[in-house]
Amino acid sequence: MSKLAWKTILASAALGGIMIAAPAMAGGTNASAAQPDPGLIAKGAKLWADNCGRCHNLRPASNFSDDGWEVVVSHMRVRANLPGEDAKAIKAFLKNSN
Amino acid sequence: MRPHRALILAGLLSTSFLVAAPVAAQNASGDQALMTRIEKLEAEVQALKAELRKSQAEATEAKTKAEAATAKADEAVAKVEKASNGVSPTTSALGGGLFNYRAGDVRFHLGGYAGGNVEFVDNGENSTFADVNFNPIFLVQYKDWLLFESELEFETTDGEGTKLELEYASLDLMLNDYATLVFGKYLSPIGLFQERLHPKWINKAISRPVGFDGTVEPLTDVGLQLRGGIPVGENMKLTYVFMIGNGPQVEEEGQPALEGFGEDNNDNKAIGGRISFFPVPWLELGGSAYHARVSGLDELSGEADADETGLGVHVEAVPAALEPTNADLDIFGAHAVATYKDLDLRFEYLHSKRDAFISVADPGGLPEALPTQKTEAWYAQAAYKLAGVTNQEFVKDLELVARFSQLNVKQGILFVDDAQDRLTFGVNYLLAPNIVIKVNYERRDFDEPDLKTENRFMGQFAIGF
């Protein structure tokens, strides 16, 4: 494997460590589970149906937990160039329907 | 004026008229004042009734709206249940990622994909290949504005054991709703195939379209991207990616390796981007463009010799009349994607041109003049899920795929043996939306008259998690 690959892996491990440690030290404030907004969920359902099957098969909400969807949809927001508000609605829908 | 105010006003006007008339007739009595008050009250009651009717109408409208939204959601869910072939949650639990962890605002997710191929080639001298890959993806998210994404690839190679490679590793900073800054090693955004379709569980066929493999389409780069999507009106959308990277480096025969390098060998950044427009959510139309500079080599296994002065002046003497020079590499292309219900149609075209330049082409050789290289690649692909026409067991889980791809060398000495027409037919059996068994037949018809046409039979198992 290339030097770059190792450097990146090490850097990412360190970064991950810092990111995990920081909030833990700060006491790890959990964002309270927001009350689902039916309008947002309905909007998210449509956006999910419109967008999430464009590159690969649609993945059903049951595939991931809330935390899983949070990260996966962020990943897809970047990959698929989704506007932030659309990603937010899709997250609301998937977390509500899993 | 709001309607109930108008009513009140009308009431008051009519009241005063009724009041005025008898007064004018000099018919005033003690009851008159009382009448006036009663009539005024009556008018107010009417106004209140009107108001009540209006808020009832508003409530009904709100209810209808909510019902419509719920119906939309139900419809979308029904759609996915059909698309996922009614796979029960237990089966699709395989799609739930490998590992998930959360500490406060930090979330960690381990996913990825894996697969295996077998391939039988009939080209006169028959041969069989098999390879296996495992690509873990690491995602670390902080709050909702920072994401680290990385993918490693473990892959068996033809005879040399296993290879481990960093596919990408980047830090994505979500600046606002419409822009994300990506920093690190990323999949090339030029064209669509590499960034969006190459994972085995996503690719509808087994092979790649010819040319979309680092020949014409770049694979990765190291640098920055600014990317995002902007809604246009109610239903339309514009998406963009701009990139700047270290760019490619020259390899044997003056061929640029279209991959990300950790350092820039010639202080000439590669720049490029892709734009797409969605007139409706299921249709994407757009194009890509890319410009880089590659530097000729003064020895093959060594460092590329950048002509920093741009005048062909070099400090070190090369024992030859020719000095390595730089060459421009330009790529442009267009794409169209329609994903409508169970049908998936794609078209992509890429054209690349590298100018003539001077470089060592063979190990141990001297710098030589290499001609301009013009290469183009395109493919058209159609896939259809039979779930759209049948509910029958097994058949409803099948997807049919056809793809035609072509690599043309329009000018130059590179890729001449790769230039071909590639026709692929496939049947995919979807065990779940993320688990697929593929069977393909492929015919490779080479442009070079000496090369025999190949018939390939391929099988693949792929899973994304």
The ipTM of this complex is: 0.79
Residue of A15, A29, A46, A62 best to disrupt the B interface, most CBs of B under 10 A? A62
Where exactly are the structural domains of chain A?
3-97
Instruction: Give the global pTM.
Output: 0.80
- B129 to chain A nearest CA, in Å? 24
DSSP state of B432: E
Closest CB to B197 among A55, A70, A77: A55
Burial class (CB in 10 A: 0-12, 13-18, 19+), A31: exposed
B380 and B347 Cβ atoms separated by less than 8 Å = yes
Looking at chain A, which residue has its C-alpha nearest residue B144? A74
The answer to whether the Cβ–Cβ distance between A59 and B433 falls below 8 Å is: yes
Q: Which residues of chain B neighbour A19 with C-beta distances below 8 Å?
A: 106, 140, 142, 146, 148
Q: Which of B83, B171, B184 sits opposite A53 (nearest CB)?
A: B83
Instruction: List Cβ neighbours of B31 (8 Å cut-off, separation of 6 or more).
Output: none
Q: Which among B76, B174, B227 is the nearest to A84, CB-wise?
A: B174
Angle at which helices B30-83 and A38-51 pack, to 10 degrees?
30
pLDDT at B322: 85
- The CA distance from A36 to the nearest CA of chain B, in Å, is 13
Shortest CA distance to B146 belongs to which of B88, B110, B107? Answer: B107
Tell if the CB–CB gap between B227 and A60 is shorter than 8 Å: no
What digits encode the pLDDT tens for the residues B344-359?
A: 999 999 999 999 999 9
| Residue A76 distance to chain B (closest CA, Å) | 10
pLDDT for residue B87: 46
pLDDT higher than threshold 80 for residue A23? no
One pLDDT digit (tens) per residue for chain B, 465 residues:
444 554 444 444 444 444 444 444 444 556 777 778 778 888 887 888 888 787 787 777 766 666 665 666 666 666 566 555 444 443 444 667 888 999 999 999 999 999 999 999 998 777 888 889 999 999 999 999 999 999 999 998 776 678 999 999 999 999 999 999 999 999 999 999 999 999 999 999 999 999 999 999 999 999 999 999 999 998 999 999 999 999 998 988 888 888 888 877 777 889 999 999 999 999 999 999 999 999 998 887 644 444 444 454 444 544 556 899 999 999 999 999 999 999 999 999 999 999 999 999 888 888 999 999 999 999 999 999 999 999 999 999 999 999 999 999 999 999 999 999 999 999 999 999 999 999 999 999 999 999 999 999 999 999 998
**C-alpha distances out from residue B86 to A62, A91, B63, B81, B132, Å:** 12, 22, 31, 5, 29
- In b/e form, how buried is each residue of B222-248, taking b as 16+ CB within 10 angstroms? bbbbebbbeeeeeeebbbbbebebbbb
Q: Check CB contact under 8 Å for B201 and A56.
A: yes
Contact B334, B306 (CB under 8 A): no
Specify the DSSP class assigned to residue B304: B
pLDDT confidence of residue B12? 45
B165/A78 CB distance under 8 A: no
Contacts of A59 in chain B (CB under 8 A): 84, 92, 95, 433-434
| Parallel/antiparallel/unpaired status of strands B256-257 and B270-280 | unpaired
Minimal Cα–Cα distance from B204 to chain A, Å?
9
pLDDT of residue B53: 82
Rounded CA separation B233/A46 (Å): 16
Residues in a beta bridge with B365: none
CA–centroid distance for B194 within its chain: 9
Mean pLDDT of A24-30: 37
CATH T-level assignment (fold) for domain B89-304+321-464: Porin (2.40.160)
**d(CA B436, nearest CA chain A) in Å:** 11
Tokens 């690839």 locate to B153
The answer for residues whose C-beta is within 8 angstroms of residue A10's C-beta and 6 or more apart is none
B113 three-state secondary structure: strand
User: Which helix (H) or strand (E) is B18 found in, with range?
Assistant: helix B3-24
- Tally A–B CB contacts below 8 A: 210
Mutation for B interface: A57, A70, A77, most B CBs within 10 A: A57
Cα B430 to Cα B208, B301, B334, B340: the distances in Å are 19, 46, 30, 18
pLDDT (0 to 100) of residue A30: 38
pLDDT of residue B451: 94
**Residue B33 pLDDT:** 77
In B386-446, beta strands by DSSP E: 398-411, 420-432, 435-446
Identify all chain B residues contacting A20, using CB atoms and an 8 Å cutoff. 103, 106, 108, 140
Mean pLDDT value of segment A33-49: 86
Domain ranges of chain B: 2-75, 89-304+321-464
